[in-house]
Every structure is written in C-alpha cells, then in structure tokens.
C-alpha cells in the first residue's frame, strides 16, 4: 500500500467490479476483475438560445449523465479462472462498482441505483457496447468496458425485450 507525507492524494483505483448480463441474473465474472484504471466523464446535452441579433441569451442543459471506461485485468487463482473473468457482457449489461473513492462528478450529480448521494462512481453502470479484450505477446490481457450512468435509469433493472 502506498503512503504519502505532505499532501493527501486521490491515489490508485480501489474499486471492485462485477459484470452481469442484460437480464441482470448471471454474474459473468467468475474469476477476479482486477481494476487497472477507470476514466469517467460528465456529459450533458446543451443548446444555446439566441435572440434576433444572434446573441446568446440562454444556455439550456439537460440529460446529465456519466460515461466511463473500466479497464480490467482478467485474473484469478490460476489461468483457467482468469479466463472466466475475461468476458464481455451483452448490450445493456450491468457493471457494478463498489469500494471506489467517494467522489462527486458533475457537481451534485448523484446517479446510481440506489442513488449514491455525493458518490458518483459506486453503483450500477449500464454497459453500452464497444467493449474490447486486448492481448499482447509480452503483457497482461486488458478488458475495456464502456458504460454510462443516468440519474433517471436504474442500472440494476433487467433489460426489457421490445
């Protein structure tokens, strides 16, 4: 474990990740999903309203959401178990994050299910497709899962067949 004298730091990725399919019934990670990194971005839709002179008189914002890519090292007690953690869910799968640092992203954005107060990272994320599994000749495999979190959609709800 790292320590610091002087300044306190937000340091490392402490989160635990579990991956489920879109029916939200089957945990797909039977091995260990070791979190290498996560990149989280606040997004929203904006529109500028202009008057007849072309001057901006209002800026409208809606659709607050968080987007994230979780980069995971598939691992386990042995190589067979590690392969079980190297799986990409189907669209609308659930990625559950626990034990991450409690940080508010997007001001008072409290997305999640259940709502997580000022903690924007922990909770359920919706897998949006585009995941990848990268292999190299000389290093560890890396699983990347792009996800999104909305304030009004519960990530742990099973997907609905249309």
**What's the distance, CA 91 to chain centroid?**
14
In this predicted structure, what is the pLDDT of residue 49?
96
What pLDDT was estimated at residue 42?
86
Count of residues in the chain: 162
With cut-offs at 50, 70 and 90, classify the pLDDT of residue 56.
Answer: very high
pLDDT in tens, 113-161: 444 445 778 888 999 999 999 998 988 899 999 999 887 777 777 778 7
Q: What is the mean pLDDT of residues 11-24?
A: 81
What one-character-per-residue DSSP string does 114-147 give? S--TT--SSEEEEE-S--EEE--SSS--EEEEEE
pLDDT in tens, 28-40: 655 677 888 999 8
What kind and span of H or E run contains 44? strand 32-50
Of residues 81, 79, 95, 100, the one with CA closest to residue 131: 95
Mean pLDDT, to the nearest integer, of 86-109? 78
Q: Which of 142, 68, 133 is nearest to 100 (CA)?
A: 68
Residue with the larger pLDDT of the pair 70 and 64: 70
Question: Does pLDDT of 108 surpass 70?
Answer: no
Q: What is the mean pLDDT of the chain?
A: 81
Lowest-pLDDT choice from 5-9, 63-67, 126-130 = 5-9
Give the ranges where the chain is alpha helix by DSSP (H): 79-84
Mean pLDDT within 57-64: 90
pLDDT at 106: 62
């Amino acid at each position: 474990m790292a320590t610091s004298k002087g300044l306190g730091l937000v340091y490392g990725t402490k989160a635990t990740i579990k991956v489920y399919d879109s029916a939200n019934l089957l945990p797909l990670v039977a091995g260990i999903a070791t979190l290498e990194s996560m990149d989280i971005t606040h997004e929203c839709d904006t529109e500028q309203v202009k008057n007849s002179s072309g001057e901006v008189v209002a800026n409208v914002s809606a659709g607050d959401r968080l987007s994230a890519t979780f980069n995971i090292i598939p691992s386990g007690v042995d190589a067979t178990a590690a392969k079980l953690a190297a799986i990409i869910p189907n669209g609308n799968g659930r990625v559950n994050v626990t034990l991450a640092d409690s940080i508010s992203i997007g001001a008072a954005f409290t997305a999640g299910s259940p709502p997580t107060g000022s903690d924007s990272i922990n909770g359920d994320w919706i897998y949006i497709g585009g995941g990848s599994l990268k292999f190299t000749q000389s290093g560890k495999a890396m699983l990347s899962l792009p996800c999104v979190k909305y304030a009004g959609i519960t990530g742990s709800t099973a997907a609905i067949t249309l």
